[in-house]
A and B are shown apart, each in its own frame.
Chain A
Amino acid sequence: MTASATRTVDCGEVAVLFVGTPPIDLQQTYDDVYSDSVDIEVVTDGRAAIRRLIAISESPTEYPRPDLVLLQCDFELPDGMTVLHAIKSSPLLDTMPVIVLDPHETGVERTYEAGGNAHVRTPQTAEEYVDLIGSIREFWFEWAQYPTESLYPDKS
């Protein structure tokens, strides 16, 4: 139950939940550049994200738990902060890594205060998105370690 695994690109399918409206097809872009298997699920707003996370929590076999959440956060609107706070305060999902993408760089402190794992400037162009995905892939899926199955101690 307490075992944690090193999540590397060789270690099966990686699932990413993207909350927001990316200007490019993230899955397509990723698959064009990288050969490993990363499944990118996009939900367009906070409410859809919450619904998705409810489904993930209630039926973890049907909806795989994301290994990483990329959260587009416009700090003018409460939407992104709601999702960030909901995840980070949850007894079930609080260890799930969340990277906040902020177009204005106004939410740096609020991101970390709410327990966000990283705050980055939202990419402006398709090239910047590809760069960002590459960096995230290298850091989060090759270097970083984080808990996996232990998030569902009673669902094994």
Chain B
Amino acid sequence: MSDSHLHEAPLVPESLLDSVSLLSKKWHPAIIRCLSGDEGLGFSDLERRLNGVSAKVLTDALTELQEYEIIERTEISQSPLRVNYTLTERGEELDDVIESLADWGETHLAEPETEQVVLVADDNKRVNTMHTAWLEDEYTVRTAKDGEETLRSLDTDVGVVVLDRRMPGLSGGEVLDWIRSQRYDIRVVVVTSEDVDLDILGMGFDEYLTKPVRKAELRAVVADLFDRRAYSAQLQEYLALQSKLGLLRAEYPDDTLASHELYQRLQDRLDELEPTDEEIDAVDAETLKRVPLGSPQ
């Protein structure tokens, strides 16, 4: 098959075309996979495994594969006639190639298991467009220009909401209260141009970013929040609380916070939620970089 004119090897050698042509036949790879790592199979076993193949097509395919010396036909008994098909050595090698192809297809061609939907809500059109553009290569992005439109765009397909805190009409805080009160399984990052204040104690966000938000920062937070969806509700709450209390500790002196009743309650709640070392080990490293874990005092 290969010729001896080595001085100018063709870009697609004949040998490759031949292999591809062999593998492109519908039943050939399937037959090879069936015979893989087995004691071999009889004709009727193959027919059963290859659901939908006709006896005629299977006979032709087996004959062709024998001609290529990919499979071997052994007669076990003459009367009644019983034959067994097994892979030859070159057949085994081809089976490895087919397995790699299948893996490649699973990685690159298979539809992602579930579509990941992000809802971006901001009354500033420019910010909205920018945040959407930063995320839409990776996620399905819905965009809302105020609190009302956010509620109209919300459903159980949404995984993460990027939520402006101050919007006319229904505010970001009210939208957040709605999401939490309706038990949506949605992680929320609040985005705001305001400084951290004590009002955030009562807000049920998972993360909090101060504007202007950088592209890498937003993408990292959204990816992190999708990861968190896989964690237990308890661990999600723990990470959200750590994030919130961490923000406040960075902004306010300890005694101001200590005298605040809600802060104390949340601190107690945090202690209740304290995850085990194994749970912490399972948390993504990116998340741990963002959320300052460990005891506050």
A51 contacts which of B149, B151, B174, B182 (Cβ < 8 Å)? B174
Residue contact B151 to A82, C-beta cutoff 8 Å: yes
CB proximity of B78 to chain A, nearest CB, Å:
65
Residue contact B178 to A54, C-beta cutoff 8 Å: yes
CB proximity of B33 to chain A, nearest CB, Å:
43
Assess whether B259 is interfacial by the CB under 8 Å rule.
no
Known contacts A47-B169, A57-B182, A82-B148, A89 near B155 by CB under 8 Å: yes
Which residues of chain B come closer than 8 Å to A46, judged between CB atoms? 148
Assess whether A85 is interfacial by the CB under 8 Å rule.
yes
A residues near B (Cβ < 8 Å) are 46-47, 50-51, 53-54, 57-58, 78-79, 81-82, 85-86, 89-93
Taking residues whose C-beta sits less than 8 angstroms from the other chain, chain B's interface range is 10 to 19
Assess whether B5 is interfacial by the CB under 8 Å rule.
no
Residue of B whose beta carbon sits closest to that of A83: B151
Residue contact B183 to A92, C-beta cutoff 8 Å: yes
Q: How far is the CA of A92 from the CA of B180 in the complex (A)?
A: 10
Q: How far is the CA of A79 from the CA of B169 in the complex (A)?
A: 10
Which residues of chain A come closer than 8 Å to B149, judged between CB atoms? 78, 82
Assess whether B108 is interfacial by the CB under 8 Å rule.
no
Most chain B CB atoms below 10 A, which of A46, A53, A89: A89
Q: How far is the CA of A78 from the CA of B146 in the complex (A)?
A: 11
Which residues of chain A come closer than 8 Å to B156, judged between CB atoms? 89, 91
Residue contact B151 to A93, C-beta cutoff 8 Å: no
Residue contact B181 to A57, C-beta cutoff 8 Å: yes
Q: How far is the CA of A82 from the CA of B154 in the complex (A)?
A: 10
Q: What are 28 A-to-B residue pairs whose CB atoms are below 8 Å?
A: A47-B169, A47-B170, A47-B174, A50-B151, A50-B174, A53-B181, A54-B174, A54-B177, A54-B178, A57-B181, A57-B182, A58-B181, A78-B149, A78-B152, A79-B148, A81-B152, A82-B149, A82-B151, A82-B152, A85-B151, A86-B178, A89-B154, A90-B184, A91-B156, A91-B182, A91-B183, A91-B185, A93-B182
